Structure 1
Amino acid sequence: MGLVSCFVWHIKEDLYICNAFKKYQIIISMNIEKISKVEIKSLWNRFDLIWNLNPDVNILSGINGSGKSTILDFIACLLTRGILTDDLAELVQSVKITFNNGKCILFEHIIDTIKNIELKAKTDDKYKSLFSNIKKKEGLNYKNIERISANITSSDDLETTLKELHELIEIDAISTFDKEIVEVGKRPDENVRTELDRDIFKLQKQYLDYQLNIGKRAFEIVSTDNGNSKKDVSLIRKTQERFLKIIDSLFEETGKKINRTKNEITFINGDEEITAYQLSSGEKQLLVILLTILVQDNKSSILFMDEPEISLHFDWQKKLIQYILELNPNVQIILATHSPAVVMEGWHNKVSDVRDLIVQDKK
């Protein structure tokens, strides 16, 4: 069963372009936790690739231009939007994501004649949906169409929506670039001047919610008074305390420590209190990564990072994966990197080179 994103209809008399975005659905079983395999066909009209993923750490390596970032974009975009953006769709014939329970999402960029689509619609549900959408388009005589270009997401079961996927799995994609926000109207606060500042602004709110949630759980435990309440409350707050200690240790060289007297994250530097917006780009990036993981609150999660080593100190790169897993052992990490430091602490067996994923080169 196919969900149509957009069409570019090639009509005999002229080229007619119509964006027909509709509310899509992607099909995920409610017990999905991890991605197990990604299959890509005709990347740049040349490469077919298969990537078998680990449930915990997945590191994609390769030279510049090998497709590392593009592959991550395919996966993250399909999971968060249910469809590829037009610029990504033009790069590929299909992308299939398979989950640990065997369920999958299949995206296809279809270019075909209307006659073939009508013929395939008799036996294939996704083509049936596509052909139905073509016929329903007002003001268009489909019999005048010679060829069609369409983006379709399909699966075996169309009952689980993208919203339900996000209720099941936290999906986070972290940018490594600290671009300035030029338009003042797009700044949610006067302190927010860059993309990383905006991430920090959002995460500060999520951090307050996180503290309220663990406070509520601690109160419920104390209220039951089962004799182990002190130990149980300590376990609830263990991850937050670990986060604070990790940040303090990483920022120790510059003399900064998290201010534990505030509900929002600020820092003490000597006798001065500074905000998270006053940190360096590297410090902001590290804070964004680790705070993103903390507020996941141990939920089953997928984290995408493209070249996280940018702006990060060499020693921080070495500890990054370890610290992420300490803060949330239920996260699946999918990252692309050039840096050998990221894999130095025992992650070499989690590395896949893009060249090794290629199963067919159509050159």
Structure 2
Amino acid sequence: MKYQICGGKFDFEWNLHPDVNILAGINGSGKSTMLDCICALLSVGALPKEISFLESLRITFDNQKYISYEHIEVKDTIRNIEKKAQKDDKYRRVLSEISEIKNDAGNDYRKITSVRFEMGIASFDDINMTLHELHELINIDVISTFDNALRQSEAVRKLSDENVKTELDWNIEKLQKRYLDYQLNISKKKDVIIENSENIKEYLALLKKPHSLFMNIIDTLFGETGKKLDRDKNEISFLSDKNEITPFQLSSGEKQLLIILLTVLLQDNNQSILFMDEPEISLHIEWQKKLIGFIRDLNPNVQVILATHSPGIIMDGWLDKVSEIRDIVIDKNSEK
């Protein structure tokens, strides 16, 4: 997979590995902005309004299918766009929303030019895969590692536990619900295996392996502070000297690690892309070193894409997966 981003002072081209990709660079070098753009285009087919400098973004997959974004300015006038639409399928799709363009006349109109996968060497009509269909094939998870205070909107107050006070807490609560569904799904699969399979023990072991691995990893890491998962409960809960500890009572680093590993477990070994921006925040250096390995153990089918400036993340054999931001950037001014 390859990302091409144009706009601002620099253009970027980043060729990705199928398993692990680490974008490194100093603060302010553009790592987070680059991840934000890619996440937004793959997740919702739109870019954040504050990224007004971006001219184009193209995500090309190994099979040469791609998703593309282009910044179009209405200053060109609607008539010019109509002329371009005669030769360019992207502009024809823009014209399908011409009324919205007219309402914003005089302002920059930012629109995804293709929410479909398109075959670069074939006609536009050959491929018709929407973002929704993409998400049916690939899980896309974006993990926030910042423990900001939660905005107490009415919806949040109605839906959340009184212990949910930060963004990490909110993410944990949502994952708790998915975790219960995950276990229910395992139980259903177990019943099917028992009813239809000859090698029952072998299949059951394979079915339970990711969940057992997750619990063992958590117990190993959290055991250093005297905590272990309460395996008698369906929801995530911990024991420390026989005292119950909820996930909301964990430290920021423990919450963050739990969110990352639980998210990967819930991918259920499906093809997935996991985005993380500076996951080392609040994590002990030893946890940083083990993080990527644990993620890949829990789901060998996940492609990890993260930004970091911590050497700890790459210590455990991931140096060859690192791309320095300065090495994938093209200084347009240097070409003049």
Instruction: Compute the TM-score of the two structures, normalised by the length of structure 1.
Output: 0.84
Deviation at 1:117, TM superposition (A): 2.0
Aligned with residue 316 of structure 2, among 322, 333, 345:
345
Moved more, 150-159 or 269-278: 150-159
Aligned with residue 83 of structure 1, among 46, 66, 72:
46
Counterpart mapping for 1:145-224 below 5 A: 149-154=109-114, 155=116, 156=118, 159-183=128-152, 185=154, 186-187=156-157, 188-224=160-196
Cα distance in 2 for residues equivalent to 1:148 and 1:234: 56
Q: Which residue of 1 aligns with 2:55?
A: 93
2:92 partner letter: K
Conserved 8 A contact 1:113-1:147: no
Cα distance in 2 for residues equivalent to 1:137 and 1:353: 40
Q: Which residue of 2 aligns with 1:283?
A: 254
Cα distance in 1 for residues equivalent to 2:49 and 2:210: 40
Q: 1:280 to 1:124 in 2, by over 3 A?
A: same
Q: Which residue of 2 aligns with 1:19?
A: none
Q: Which residue of 2 aligns with 1:13?
A: none
Q: List gaps (5 residues or longer) in structure 1.
A: 1-35
C-alpha offsets along residues 52-82 of structure 1, whole Å, 9 cap, x if unaligned?
Answer: 0000000000111110000000110001111
Q: List gaps (5 residues or longer) in structure 2.
A: 119-123
Q: Does 1:117 align with 2:81?
A: yes
Q: Which residue of 1 aligns with 2:28?
A: 65
Q: 1:147 to 1:278 in 2, by over 3 A?
A: closer
Cα distance in 2 for residues equivalent to 1:320 and 1:251: 14
Cα distance in 1 for residues equivalent to 2:323 and 2:196: 49
Aligned with residue 103 of structure 1, among 36, 41, 65:
65
2:243 partner letter: E
Conserved 8 A contact 1:266-1:275: yes
2:239 partner letter: I
Conserved 8 A contact 1:113-1:148: no
Structure having the larger proportion of residues in helix: 2
Q: Which residue of 2 aligns with 1:18?
A: none
Q: Does 1:318 align with 2:289?
A: yes
Aligned with 2:54: secondary structure? coil
Q: Report the RMSD for the aligned CA atoms in angstroms.
A: 2.0
Cα distance in 2 for residues equivalent to 1:352 and 1:173: 20
C-alpha offsets along residues 286-339 of structure 1, whole Å, 9 cap, x if unaligned?
Answer: 000000000110000000000000000110000000000000000000000011
Count of residues in correspondence between the two structures: 320
Conserved 8 A contact 1:251-1:257: yes
Counterpart mapping for 1:243-258 below 5 A: 243-258=214-229
Aligned with 2:286: secondary structure? helix
Deviation at 1:132, TM superposition (A): 4.8
Sequence identity, in percent?
Answer: 55
Instruction: Compute the TM-score of the two structures, normalised by the length of structure 2.
Output: 0.90
Deviation at 1:146, TM superposition (A): 7.0
Aligned with residue 301 of structure 2, among 321, 324, 330:
330
Conserved 8 A contact 2:91-2:113: no
**Superposed structure 1 runs of 4+ greater than 6 Å apart:** none
Aligned with residue 233 of structure 2, among 242, 247, 262:
262
Q: 1:276 to 1:148 in 2, by over 3 A?
A: closer
Q: 1:96 to 1:219 in 2, by over 3 A?
A: same
Cα distance in 2 for residues equivalent to 1:292 and 1:225: 30
